[in-house]
Amino acid sequence: MNFNKMYGLFLRHFYLIKSSLPRILDLIYWPTIQIILWGFISKFFSIYSDYYSNTLGVILTCAILYDILFRSSISFNMLFLEEIWSRNFTNLFIAPLKLKEIIVSLIFTALIRTLIGLVPAIMLTSPLFGVSILKLGLPLLFLFLSLYLFGITLGLFVSSGLIRFGPSFENIAWSSLFLLAPLGCIYYPIEILPELFQFIAKGLPLVYIFDETRNILLNGSIDYTNLKHAYLLNLMYLIIGIVLFYLSFLRARIKGTLINMGE
């Protein structure tokens, strides 16, 4: 074996990681987020072991709702990633399409991809675990729409990064939602978080969505205050996401990085 060749290949990947902040973050926060997330879950159950009357039903329902968020965001990002992988990214912007037309098209396509991935999983939960997300009733529609809006917003943020920084931002597309999972209070109430994390978490619509989900399942009632907070935050972040998308496109066009994307 030739040591110089092996060392050269090592340097190729080493400098690739060294020069890319998204890749470094990807290596660091995957294990960190998993430890923090399940640490909070374990703490919650150790303190409030009698909190849930139907632990499996509540946790599984929240897991399905979280997957709605995950699938909607990833589906939006995948459409951009597919263009990059197929080396068709430049053609997308050469085509006579306006940015707003691209965004609207991606939103509806992401909805179809989300439903295709989720409907079979939702149908399996009832016969396998005796849990049906449809028990939420009409509020399920409001929760679904709120999660979908936030998923699309995250998709806009990540797509803006892809346009601005190129394929090196790809790892963020896969892991952005896991970064928010501990603060989103998906499986536990916000009181489990340290005070500093609580302050940050209150700025996320996820906290209000999943808090309302647990409220409906445990108390059989709906609190429209939580939904109002979630929708207001969603609207604010959606506007920021659209503005950021336009700014990233203009910056990439000025620098000429759109031409080399995916090449």
CA distance 252 to 167: 13
Question: Per the domain annotation, does 102 fall within a domain?
Answer: yes
pLDDT the model gives residue 178: 75
Q: Rounded to an integer, what is the distance from CA 138 to the centroid of its chain? A: 24
pLDDT in tens, 82-122: 777 767 666 666 667 677 777 787 777 777 777 776 777 77
Question: Per the domain annotation, does 1 fall within a domain?
Answer: no
pLDDT in tens, 124-139: 667 766 667 777 778 8
Q: For the chain, how many structural domains are there in total?
A: 1
Per-position DSSP letters for 16-82, written without gaps between them: HHHT-HHHHHHHHHHHHHHHHHHHHHHHHHHH-TTS-SSHHHHHHHHHHHHHHHHHHHHHHHHHHHH
Q: pLDDT at residue 59 above 80?
A: no
Q: pLDDT at residue 213 above 90?
A: no
Instruction: Give the range of the structural domain holding residue 179, as residue numbers without chain letter.
Output: 20-260
Structure tokens at 120: 């079979």
Question: Per the domain annotation, does 51 fall within a domain?
Answer: yes
The pTM assigned to this predicted structure is: 0.76
Question: Per the domain annotation, does 2 fall within a domain?
Answer: no
pLDDT in tens, 234-247: 999 999 999 998 89
* Span 25-49, average pLDDT: 62
DSSP state of 1: -
Q: What is the overall mean pLDDT for the chain?
A: 76
* Span 17-32, average pLDDT: 66
Question: Per the domain annotation, does 63 fall within a domain?
Answer: yes
Question: Per the domain annotation, does 15 fall within a domain?
Answer: no
Q: What is the dihedral sign for C-alpha 212, 186, 145, 216? A: negative
pLDDT the model gives residue 251: 84
Question: Per the domain annotation, does 50 fall within a domain?
Answer: yes
Question: Per the domain annotation, does 14 fall within a domain?
Answer: no
